Amino acid sequence: MTTATHDDWLHRAKTFAPRSTHLIDGADEPGGGSTFLAVSPRDGRVLAEVADAGAAEVDAAVAAARRAFDHGPWPRLAPADRGRVLTRLADLLEEHRQDLALTVTLEMGKPITDAHDIELRAVTNTFRWYGQLADKLTDESPHTAPDALALVTREPAGVVGAVVPWNFPLTLAGWKVAPALAAGCTVVLKPSENSPLSALLLGRLALEAGLPPGVLNVVAGDGPVAGRALGLHPDVDVLAFTGSTAVGRHFLRYAADSNLKRVWLELGGKSPNIVLPDAPDLEKAAATAAWGIFFNQGEMCTAPSRLLVHSSIAEQVTEAVVARARALRVGDPLDPATEMGALVGRDHLDRVLGHVHAAVDDGARLRAGGARTLTETGGVYLEPTVFDQVDPAGRLAREEIFGPVLSVLTFDDLDEAVALANATEYGLAAGLWTSDLSTAHQVSRALKAGTVWVNCYEEGDLTVPFGGMKQSGNGRDKSAHALEKYTELKTTWIQL
């Protein structure tokens, strides 16, 4: 855990001087001269003038990755050697933990305690885990007739384009980059234009760890230009994306309009969190519901944004959540005591407030929050917000808000709870609170979600896969299953 004080972090922030050029073929690349400003949502301060990738920069990065894959050593290294580089990178991430945490906090507003203790722990563990896994994968030799030998081998898929969002800029980059590199692929990483600085630092640390030039390239730029160029590029073999469902559709179109590259999508969510009267601890259920929706300012695809509570306990649970919302400490993300920091930017704040105002107009009852706060800082802050009496068919209950806004809905029986939970186009995650083992199994099976947490939320480790159903996407991050996205199966049949 971080032991630095508020003053320590403020001092480090004063001397913050991030790298702001692309990393292409192992070298700093300023590009064609176009730039954009990285602005901190903490206080509106300009952090850096960042090189802005156009089609030319993306093409150069893909060409470098293509050469590194077709002719370089990385895909041809023994898996154990690739693993050693990834574990060295994990060591460097730990060594530079404070610099990386500060970068994440300044560029996207996450509380420094969460950046240091949670985000950096997660990305470090990811590279270490895949580094240790790299030489433990096996191919297959199916049983055949005595006169033949069949081999089924997994081979690296080629050049991977990884497009990742701003809410967990390092963790989600790690979930794509680490398994791709472990499999022997080369990568072009495009971070969000809202959080490019941490990814650019990650790229430099990967070089220091021993990754050959061209194996990991990082280009900063926006989605409509750089992201589109990556999605349409004929030399990209696999595209891995985390972000909105709307943008995910664009990447599928880009693949169809180019080389039919494989596209793996982890998209939006409107996750239900069901609390039954027999929950083992109602106070814990309410506390976890509040933590889940307000953690990371609610900017999570898995955020339990729909709290479904049995009508017999609805007011008790809602009051407990409202009390926690009102007590939550919103403040300077550089203060280790802050529990909720800044939203990523003014445009995003306006979108979230638009949902709040629409919910009031639609008849939902505002129980807590609902307004901008700390405006004197120049930053982008919103009060933790809770609504009840929410129409299940209304926008508040159906659309992803991606902010600290909770909808409380009630039900009278289990069938109604499952129907409400599944009444969404998304299927990323869900929560369930019950003491009955049969109920836990039956409801978990009935919920259309890639992950179901029982009597907890946001728990798990790298051994289990993560991904969605329905319009929350396809494929899986984390676990050994993630390697399936970055490998091709080849059958070799030998007649003896």
Where in the sequence numbering do the catalytic residues fall? 266, 301
| 416 vs 410: CA distance, rounded Å | 9
What is the token pair recorded at 425? 């186009």
Question: 186 has which bridge partners?
Answer: 159
Are the C-beta atoms of residues 162 and 175 closer than 8 Å to each other? no
| 114 vs 292: CA distance, rounded Å | 13
Are the C-beta atoms of residues 163 and 199 closer than 8 Å to each other? no
* Closest to 402 (Cα-Cα) out of 105, 170, 108: 108
Are the C-beta atoms of residues 88 and 209 closer than 8 Å to each other? yes
DSSP collapsed to 3 states, 245-303: HHHHHHHHHHHHHCCCCEEEEECCCCCEEEECCCCCCHHHHHHHHHHHHHHHHHCCCCC
- Using DSSP, how many helices (H) and how many strands (E) does the chain show? 16, 22
**Angle formed by the axes of helices 314-327 and 282-294, nearest 10°:** 50
What is the token pair recorded at 264? 């793996």
* Closest to 182 (Cα-Cα) out of 235, 129, 218, 121: 129
Phi and psi angles of residue 381, each rounded to the nearest 5 degrees, phi first: -125, 145
Q: Compute the radius of gyration of the chain from its Cα atoms.
A: 23
* Closest to 462 (Cα-Cα) out of 198, 163, 183, 124: 124
| 79 vs 100: CA distance, rounded Å | 28
Are the C-beta atoms of residues 169 and 123 closer than 8 Å to each other? no
| 9 vs 27: CA distance, rounded Å | 30
For 187, half-sphere exposure in the C-beta direction (CA atoms, 13 angstrom radius) is 29
Name the residue type at position 358.
A
| 424 vs 437: CA distance, rounded Å | 26
* Closest to 93 (Cα-Cα) out of 171, 2, 20: 171
DSSP string, 300-355: -TT---EEEEETTTHHHHHHHHHHHHHH--B--TTSTT-SB---S-HHHHHHHHHH
